[in-house]
Structure 1
Amino acid sequence: MDAPSGIISAIVTGLVIGVLGRLVVPGRQAIGCLMTILVGLIGAAGGLAIANAIDAAWLLTLLLQIGVAAVLVLITASATGRNQ
């Protein structure tokens, strides 16, 4: 895979996982689009690391990625103090 398509797919994955993580968390989080992508990227990587450690199937991997992103959304929203 060449670098531009890898970067684009990582950004899209981060956005999707970040949005799904925000949807799981109740209430409104005003953390912005860039922070959502960043949280999604970190959540996707963290969930993937956990899934690889326990040798999880693809569905559990996805759920772990969303779960890690949701926890990061909670932490980020409370750290910035912009929970609404």
Structure 2
Amino acid sequence: MDVLYTIIIGAVCGYIADVLMSDNGYGLILSIIIGIAGSFVGSWAFGELGISVGSGVISDIIRGASGAIIILFVLGLFRRGTSRRR
């Protein structure tokens, strides 16, 4: 059940981040992967900054979407960097 919860929360977080970051066009599967990875990045970043958003589904989505936005931002920087070299 934990795997299904992670996939569902990851999908929601990936979708939210994709919409907020101007529809980067990564697709559903990659958005889910970015959302799952974003959960780890968001939890780490919130812990390092000392930010607490509580517990539960909403806080998982907030942390995951924040982490996914961080990942999409970094991917965007790499995308721009490679396009300038051509």
Task: Please list the CA deviations of residues 50-71 of structure 1 after superposition, one character each: whole Å capped at 9, or x if unmatched.
Answer: 2234151237775443222123
* TM-score (ref. length: structure 2): 0.66
After TM superposition, list the pairs within 5 Å mapping 1:1-84 onto structure 2: 5-26=1-22, 28-53=23-48, 54-58=50-54, 62-76=61-75
- The Cα of 1:29 is off from its aligned counterpart by 1.8
Q: Distance in 2 between matches of 1:50 and 1:75?
A: 14
Taking a change above 3 Å as real, the CA distance of residues 61 and 55 of structure 1, as seen in their structure-2 partners, is farther
Contact 1:11 1:37 in 2 (8 A): yes
SS at match of 2:24: coil
Q: Give unmatched runs, 5+ long, in structure 1.
A: none
Q: Which runs of 5+ in 2 are unaligned?
A: 81-86
SS at match of 1:71: helix
Identity over aligned pairs, percent: 13
